[in-house]
A and B are shown apart, each in its own frame.
Chain A
Amino acid sequence: MLVGQQQRLQDDIRALVERFGRKRSALIPVLQELQNAHTTISDFAMQVVADELSIHPAEVYGVTSFYAFLRQESRGRFVFRLCGTISCELSGKSRVARQLENDLGIRFGETTADGRFGLEWASCLGMCDQGPALLVNDRVYTGVTPEHVHAIIDECKSTFGAHAREAVHS
Chain B
Amino acid sequence: MTPVNSKKTPFTFESVEPESGLRAALGMSRADIIGEVGACNLRGRGGAGFPTGTKWNLAAAAKVKAGGTKYVVCNADEGEPGTFKDRVILSDHADMVFEGMTIGARAIGATVGILYLRSEYVYLRPHLEQVLERRRAGNLLGQDIGGLAGFSFDIHLHMGAGAYVCGEETALIESLEGHRGEPRNRPPFPVDTGFEGQPTVVNNVETFAWVVCVLSRGAHWFKSIGTEKSTGYKLFSVSGDCREPGVYEFPLGITVGELLEKVGGQGAKAVQIGGASGHCVPASEFGRRIAFEDLSTGGSIIVLGPGRDMLAVARNFMEFFVEESCGQCTPCRAGNAKLLGGVEMLQRGECSMNYLQELLALCETMQLASKCGLGQSSPNAFVSIVKHFKDEIMGRTLAH
Contact = CB atoms under 8 A, between A and B. Distances in A.
Contacts of A139: 123
B159 A140 contact: no
Given A123-B320, A128-B239, A86 B272 contact: yes
A63 interface: yes
A170 B82 CA distance: 23
Contacts of B98: none
Interface in A67-99: 67-70, 84-87, 89-90
Interface stretch (A1-9, A26-34, A111-119): A26-34
Nearest to B319: A84
B316 A89 contact: yes
Given A128-B245, A142-B1, A170 B122 contact: yes
A87 B123 contact: no
Contacts, number: 140
A129 interface: yes
B84 A138 contact: no
Most buried by B among A32, A123, A143: A123
Contact of B316 (A26, A69, A86): A86
A143 B161 contact: no
Interface residues of A, number: 45
Contact of B177 (A24, A66, A87): A24
Contacts of A28: 159, 161, 175, 178
B258 to A, nearest CB: 19
A144 B118 CA distance: 22
B81 A124 contact: yes
A69 B119 contact: yes
Nearest to B164: A123
A127 B3 contact: yes
A62 B304 CA distance: 39
Given A87-B82, A128-B82, A144-B1, A69 B123 contact: no
B2 A142 contact: yes
Nearest to A142: B3
A32 B240 contact: no
A138 B3 contact: no
B246 A129 contact: yes
A11 to B, nearest CB: 22
A128 B175 CA distance: 25
Most buried by B among A24, A25, A129: A129
B84 A127 contact: yes
Contact of B320 (A31, A62, A85, A90): A85
Interface string B317-344: 1011001101000000000000000000
Interface string A54-71: 000000001100111110
B313 to A, nearest CB: 7
Interface string B46-89: 00000000000000000000000000000000111111101100
A135 to B, nearest CB: 6
Given A127-B84, A142-B1, A86 B302 contact: yes
Interface of B: 1-4, 6, 78-84, 86-87, 118-123, 158-164, 175-181, 196, 237-241, 245-247, 272, 276, 302, 304, 308, 312-313, 316-317, 319-320, 323-324, 326
13 contacts: A24-B178, A29-B158, A63-B178, A85-B81, A86-B240, A90-B302, A122-B162, A126-B86, A128-B302, A129-B84, A143-B1, A144-B1, A169-B122
Given A89-B312, A126-B118, A128-B82, 11 more contacts: A24-B179, A25-B196, A26-B178, A32-B161, A69-B119, A69-B162, A85-B82, A86-B302, A123-B164, A124-B79, A126-B78
